[in-house]
């Protein structure tokens, strides 16, 4: 299993939101490239980047700083936020992004996601963000009645690289991973799952490690790294063992 540090971008700055609320954003750095360098130096095998402004707008809003990070950091980047057409996918992949994450599109435009999987095999990740097991889209501002498991099952056998599963209520709260919901999703599909939301300390890493046999291949860590609640180096070392 791999531990993936997160960089969330708002107005070109590195921030963390509480439960996906754009009104509850804490700025942790004015220099996201410097943060990415820090995670690389601490042993990160990949970095998770989200264009928060793009997720609301429906198109990229932090493109310049994203490309700066890609050029500066010689490790794979997975990128989400406002990626909703083939042109944007192609642009980012050509610029060196390893995987693009499709979130809102996964619910609202299944044909587009399937076409993207065919055209860019192994380079597409679907992001499923859920509250009480139901999917939310448009930067988490729009709740739906679609169960996360049902959405995930639509994309079996389409060549997805992974599904990032985020529990919105726990994201940015350091209250622990929703282990049960993550396990249920992992058992429901054969697609590799990346857990996200709520990691606070090493015991959370341990709990996600227990899900590896069910198909959980990674865990994203955000706020705990910025507050010092978790050491990235220690978490990576534990995951490797």
Q: Which of 53, 129, 171, 204 is catalytic?
A: 129
Q: Is 129 a catalytic residue?
A: yes
The C-alpha angle with vertex 32 and arms to 229 and 19, in degrees rounded to 5, equals 50
Of 8, 51, 171, 204, which residue is the catalytic one? 8
Task: Please state the length of the chain.
Answer: 241
Q: What is the dihedral of CA 9, 116, 198, 23, to 10 degrees?
A: 40
- Euclidean distance between CA atoms 51 and 186, whole angstroms: 26
| Per-residue tokens: 133 | 């097991």
Respond yes or no: is residue 210 known to be catalytic: no
| Residue 218, strand partner residues | 2, 194
Sign of the alpha-carbon torsion through 208, 211, 212, 215: negative
Given a contact cutoff of 8 angstroms between Cβ atoms, the answer to whether 73 and 97 are in contact is: no
Active-site positions read: 8, 129
């Amino acid at each position: 299993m791999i531990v993936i540090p997160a960089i969330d971008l708002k107005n070109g700055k590195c921030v963390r939101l509480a439960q996906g609320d754009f009104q509850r954003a804490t700025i942790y750095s004015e220099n996201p490239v410097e943060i990415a360098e820090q995670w690389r130096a601490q042993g990160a095998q990949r970095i998770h980047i989200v264009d928060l402004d793009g997720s609301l707008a429906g198109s990229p809003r932090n493109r310049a700083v994203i490309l700066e990070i890609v050029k500066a950091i010689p490790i794979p980047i997975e990128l989400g936020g406002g990626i909703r057409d083939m042109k944007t996918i192609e642009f980012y992949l050509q610029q060196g992004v390893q995987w693009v994450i499709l979130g809102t599109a996964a619910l609202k435009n299944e044909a587009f996601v399937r076409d993207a999987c065919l055209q860019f095999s192994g380079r597409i990740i679907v992001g499923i963000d859920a509250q009480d097991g139901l999917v939310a889209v448009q930067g988490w501002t729009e709740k739906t009645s679609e169960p996360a498991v049902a959405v995930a099952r639509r994309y079996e056998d389409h060549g997805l690289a992974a599904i990032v599963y985020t529990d919105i209520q726990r994201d940015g709260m350091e209250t622990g991973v929703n282990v049960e919901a993550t396990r249920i999703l992992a058992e429901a599909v054969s697609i590799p799952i990346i857990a996200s939301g709520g990691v606070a300390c090493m015991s959370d890493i341990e709990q996600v490690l227990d899900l590896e046999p069910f198909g959980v291949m990674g865990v994203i860590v955000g706020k705990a790294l910025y507050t010092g609640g978790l050491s990235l180096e220690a978490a990576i070392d534990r995951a490797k063992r």
